């Protein structure tokens, strides 16, 4: 089972709020995405996880499969867990939140 972890990064003097995604499959992979103010916080977490998956899904056999669960960790972090099935992340995210996905469109 693989996980994608999306963490909130506070603003600094030179950068605004961001979200950073990493995964258990290869800890060296990461993607940082700026906060989209038109979306809710929850939708920003989902969007960052989705963008991470789209960027890395064809590299070295990485294929998360379907979302099997998610949860909040401490310090404004969301962890998505995935099966190893061949279904897409888009399908799994629809199961999580139809409303948040409509915000992403």
SS3 letters for 17-39?
CEEEEEECCCCCCEEEEECCCCC
Containing structural domain, residue 82: 2-100
Tally of structural domains, the chain:
1
Q: Is residue 50 part of a domain?
A: yes
Structure confidence at residue 10 (pLDDT):
92
Q: Is residue 22 part of a domain?
A: yes
State the CB neighbour count (10 A cutoff) for residue 91.
12
Q: Is residue 105 part of a domain?
A: no
Q: What is the DSSP string of 45-96?
A: HHHHHHHHHHHHTTSTT----SEEEEEEETTTEEEEEE-SSS--HHHHHHHH
- Indicate whether this model's pTM tops 0.75: no
pLDDT category of residue 34 using cuts at 50, 70 and 90? very high
């Amino acid at each position: 089972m693989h996980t994608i972890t999306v963490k909130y990064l506070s603003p600094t003097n030179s950068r605004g709020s961001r979200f950073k995604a990493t995964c258990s499959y290869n800890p060296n992979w990461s993607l940082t995405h700026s906060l989209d103010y038109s979306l809710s916080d929850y939708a920003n977490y989902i969007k960052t996880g989705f963008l991470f998956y789209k960027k890395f899904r064809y590299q070295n056999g990485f294929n998360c499969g379907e979302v099997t669960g998610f949860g909040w960790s401490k310090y404004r972090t969301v962890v998505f867990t995935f099966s190893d099935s061949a279904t897409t992340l888009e399908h799994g995210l629809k199961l999580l939140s139809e409303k948040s996905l409509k915000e992403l469109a």
